[in-house]
Every structure is written in structure tokens, then in C-alpha cells.
Amino acid sequence: MGKKLKLMLLGCGKLSGVIAKALESGLLPEYELVAALSGHNKEKAADFGNEYHCQVYDNVDDLLNLKPDYIVEAASVQAVKDNGEKILSSGSNLVLLSIGALADDSLCQRLKQAAIQGGARLFIASGAVGGFDILRTAVLMGPIKMSIISEKDPQVAANMPLETEGIEDITAKKTIFTGTARQAIEKLPSQMNVAIALALASAGPEKTDIEIQAVPGFEGDRYKIQLEGQQVKTDLNIYSRTSEVAGWSAVAVLRNIVSPVVF
């Protein structure tokens, strides 16, 4: 095997831990974890560096001075806004998990231009869902209708900035939001990465309908995705018990990048 690709992480949280563990287990033999960018919790960041034997920095410039080949963002929409353009224009490729950042059309265009300027690429991980291939294919074939139903644990829903008073005590399924993906990301900027990813891969944020439901006794996340066109109809039902699947989706992207056979 030749020289390994330098991999760095934005964030030292749970999802970054998934990626680091995948490296340790040998699932990403073409990469080496060189460094990570800390968040607000410096103690947690130091523990991350010690556990996974990598440098942890406070400033993205320190990461970029090491000339990383790939950086995986597993932090937040704000981290993308703060660092995305600089990373791409420097020539480092960026794998994105906080896809909700791309709901900002201006930022999306700036990221594209930064990637062109730096000769880099921006990879969008599937996060907690999938089916991007059929969605993108259907769009090419003609007009489509796109809708998403997101089911949530009432305890999780109670912490969303919506009208959810008393939601923990419901005994039947309750709809707590209806609107477009664009409206959803405006109200819930850190919780609608999935909706934006699906919308960008299909009808667009303004033409993708989303409904969020609180379901008694439910744990995890479920997304019911329906696409209908003149020649194609797709129904996807995706359940994940924890958010770890998002971290694993970044691992899948990294494996795909270096694979001789690309899905």
C-alpha cells in the first residue's frame, strides 16, 4: 500500500468517534487520522485526542497547515458556515454531515466556488437516510412530487422549538410541523439535515413537503419518503435507533472514494 491519505475531523463528538473507531478497526486502511478540530468542550476534545492518538486543535488554520487530503465535518451547521469555504479553497476535500447548511443558497454557491478554486470536492454523506441514487435519477426523467414524514420520540420532540407543550404526555400520534423543507430548516436549523439532503437530491427545498410527527412509545428516528413522477414512484421507510448511522454514512463515503468499484 502506498502513502496513506491524511484524514482530519471537524468535531470531537459521537459521530467523529464512530469514524475514528472505523479507522482503528481497519475499515479505512487507506487513511490515517492526523488531527481533529475541537468544539466548545476542551476537556472532551482532549480526551478524544488521547483516545484516538491524534492532535486536537482549536483553529482550523492549524489543521490546514498539515495539508489534509480529506476532512469530515461532524460538528454543526455553524461549523460548515465558519470553515467550509476555507477548507475547500485550500485544496482539502470535505465530507459533509451537517447538510442543513446547504439550505442557505448563498453559502451553497460559495462552497461550490471554493471547491472549484481549490481543486477540491464536496461530498454529501447520506446521514440517517439513503436512496439518493433513485431520487437523483427520477429528477432527470421529469417533474416529481416529493414528501417526507419524520417520526420522533415525544421526549425529543419536546426539545424542538415548536408548539410542543405537553407533548411528552400524548397518547396518540400528533403532527407538530407541516411545511416545506425550506421552512423546516428555518425553524429547526440543527435538526433537519435529512430533509435538506433529500430535498437537494430531488425536488428542491421549496418543493419538498415535510411533516414531523411525535409518536408515543417511539424511540429513534423514522423517515417515510415518497417520490412520485410520471415514470417512477418510490416509497422508502428508513428507521435508525441512534444517530450513529450518520457517522457510518461518512465512513461509507470515505470507502467509496478510494474503491475501484464505486456505488
pLDDT, position 114: 99
Residues 105 and 20 in one domain: yes
Residues 141 and 62 in one domain: no
In whole angstroms, give the CA distance from residue 245 to residue 248: 5
* Cβ atoms of 8 and 38 closer than 8 Å: no
The grid coordinates of residue 46 equal 482532549
pLDDT, position 163: 86
**Domain harbouring 189, CATH code:** 3.30.360.10
Residues 9 and 108 in one domain: yes
pLDDT along the chain (263 residues), means of 10: 92 97 98 94 93 96 97 96 98 96 94 99 94 95 97 94 92 96 87 90 95 96 96 96 95 98 93
Task: List C-alpha distances in Å: 36 to 39, 66, 247.
Answer: 10, 11, 15
Residues 229 and 99 in one domain: no
In whole angstroms, give the CA distance from residue 174 to residue 210: 14
**Is residue 169 assigned to a domain?**
yes
Residues 203 and 251 in one domain: no
| Tally of structural domains, the chain | 2
Annotated binding residue 128: yes
**Domain harbouring 250, CATH code:** 3.40.50.720
Q: Which of 155, 159, 207, 151 is nearest to 175 (CA)?
A: 151
Residues 93 and 170 in one domain: no
Residues 11 and 112 in one domain: yes
Annotated binding residue 214: no
In whole angstroms, give the CA distance from residue 3 to residue 30: 8
**Is residue 263 assigned to a domain?**
no
pLDDT, position 197: 92
Residues 25 and 106 in one domain: yes
In whole angstroms, give the CA distance from residue 117 to residue 260: 27
Residues 30 and 110 in one domain: yes
Residues 141 and 216 in one domain: yes
Residues 111 and 123 in one domain: yes
Residues 97 and 158 in one domain: no
In whole angstroms, give the CA distance from residue 56 to residue 35: 6
pLDDT, position 2: 78
pLDDT, position 190: 76
- What global pTM score does this model have? 0.93
**Is residue 229 assigned to a domain?**
yes
| Range(s) of the domain holding residue 45 | 5-127+245-258
pLDDT, position 1: 62
